[in-house]
Amino acid sequence: MKRLLLVVFTALLFGNVSVFAKQKIDHLEPAFWWVGMKNPNLQLLVHGENIAELEAEINYPGVSIEKVNRVENPNYLFVDLKLSTELTAGSFDILFKKGKKTVVKYNYELKERRKGAAERKSFTPKDVMYLITPDRFANGNTDNDHVEGLSEGLNREDKSGRHGGDIQGMIDHVDYIADMGFTAIWVNPLLENNQTTSYHGYATTDYYKIDERFGSNEEYLNLSKLAQEKGVGIIMDVILNHCGSEHWWMKDLPSKDWINFGGEFVRTSHKRTTVQDQYASKEDLKDFTDGWFVKSMPDLNQRNPFMATYLIQNAIWWVEYANLYGIRVDTFPYSDADFLSEWDVRLLAEYPNLNIVGEEWSTNPNIVSYWQKGKQNMDGYDSNLPSLMDFPMQQTLVEALTQEDTWGTGLIRLYELLVNDVLYPDPNNLVIFPDNHDMARIFDQLDRDYDLYKMAMTYVLTMRGIPQIYYGTEILAKSDAGSDHGLLRTDFPGGWEGDQVNAFTGEGLSEQEKDAQDFCKTILNWRKKKEVIHSGKLMHYAPDNGVYSFFRYSDTEKVMVILNKNTELVQLDAKRYYEMLGNHTVAKDIISDKIVQLNLGIEVPARSAIILEIK
């Protein structure tokens, strides 16, 4: 009887793993895969005590073991599989044997792909992303506020603690996001972060598991499904550069070169220019790419081929599993450059239309443009990365709106910035934004000047590129924090039971906050239908006396955008814009819904932005 109970207990504990001796499988990743992928190769990471003593065996039509790789740690095997193009979906046992005796058995599944999975659509300039820090957005399920075995539970009093936001909170408010006019959600990382002060999600401790305080893999899949039904795609935040110090493999590394600097903490120099600087020393380059952000985030060595394959397959797994709309890559240039190129190539081979945006936090367009796919760099390097975050534009926008207008400051900075678009192979595929999760809110950056805020939002939502708006920016969220990230990522009002202010319904918002929300909603929903904003050309006119104007235009549509920083109404002579306006005499102001007679002059109210549809 006791033996029977032991067998039952073991089966429950290990799920699809059967154990016949002391040896067992602690981890096998990826836990399942799909038939019909373009790349026929699949590498399984297998971890268990002295697992390297065993041989792997598979008997399933269309699946063959090409090689079993052993590393210096006997607790690992890396099993290379070849999957036939005629392979059918199903499950089979992987036998781990010692001689003729089966020691461990793992039931592996190959799933059917969704119809059209390879040709999936992805984010483009038609979209506007809504960036969410999930812990701070909405607490939809209070049952997961405290999870046994995870290091931190709910503590809203701690600015750097867990506040309880989760996937269910996002599911509950998908309608709000869609009604506002957003068409994509970029969610800060949701994978398990089982260590302290890691509510932000950037210290992964399990690459194949959603953190239980956010929900489950199944809930993430449900979010993706429900959002898509509302016309909203999910963009996953991926971290290739580092993991969390409490990741399970940190207690039993496969090899000494799995983590950079031999697993010893050496802080990165953050000298991002070293990657492309022809004069940089090798020591400086190594200090940048191999150095760690902080001690709690070990730096991954993607030059190790098993690590590289692991990270590539993990990204493909999540795109396929969660039916993702795109990927955002954290700290992109900090990883090994050759690996990054291969990572992009492999993902785009499986998903040719997939858009991937990388974070290169530099305000120098020369540095940012180096990483975009198709760039003719002097060193011959091509990262194959389709998109980048346009940090130069974000900084310049704030300077342009807050500086006095002179021959070299103020709005002229925005005008002159755009000449740098010649550096980018595809400037229309850059992601532009007024603020994000790592900086002060745009309302604070603009000294809480509401007029300047509206100019900034108008510019971002009508300029070339793909706009991204951080949650709460639409209701004038404030930082109150300087550089304190815990306070930058403020709780969204209405996301917690008992909140006296509810931004989802408007209850308790100030008149100015309501006006900001309506202002953004009007432009966002107008923008959704304006092909001329998505793919139209751009022509701008040099700023003159505190006024900056630009046009988005195509063969069938024209839109004029005007920013007026003056403290008085300005009347513009339409003759200056004859190249764009021609004989057009009528326009519609999309904010006020008023008709404008262009031949009578274009009135722009003091300290305002207007968007005119040319009729």
Residues serving a catalytic function are 330, 359
Please report, for residues 126, 151, 504, the alpha-carbon distance to residue 176 in angstroms, rounded to integers and kept in the order given: 19, 32, 6
Question: How far is Cα 9 from Cα 217, in angstroms, rounded to an integer?
Answer: 24
* Closest to 31 measured CA to CA, from 47, 44, 50: 44
Q: How far is CA 227 from CA 219, 291, 384, 517, in A?
A: 12, 38, 29, 21
Helix 305-322 vs helix 337-350: crossing angle, to nearest 10: 30
Q: Is-contact 327 235, C-beta < 8 A?
A: yes
Give which of 473, 373, 380, 378 is closest to 426, Cα–Cα. 373
Q: How many Å is the Cα radius of gyration of the chain?
A: 26
Contact predicate 210/192, CB 8 Å: yes
CB 563 within 8 A of CB 411: yes
The H or E element spanning position 457 is: helix 450-462
Sheet holding 41-47, edge to edge: 27-29, 41-47, 76-83, 63-70
Separation of alpha carbons 15 and 28, rounded Å: 12
Place of tokens 């075995």: 149
Helix (H, G, I), strand (E, B) or coil at 179: helix
**Would you say 304 and 279 are in contact if contact means Cβ atoms under 8 Å apart?**
no
Torsional sign, CA 398, 133, 131, 320: positive
Report strand pairing: 558-564 vs 608-614: antiparallel
Cis bond upstream, residue 40 (ω within 30): no
602 membership: H or E segment, kind and range = strand 602-604
The DSSP-derived string for 81-100 is EEE-TT---EEEEEEEEETT
The stretches of 281-407 forming alpha helices (DSSP H) are 282-290, 305-322, 337-350, 365-369, 391-402
DSSP structure class, residue 297: S
Q: Tokens 């997961």 sit at which residue?
A: 144
- Give the phi and the psi of residue 366 in degrees, each rounded to 5: -60, -40
Largest CA distance in the chain: 95
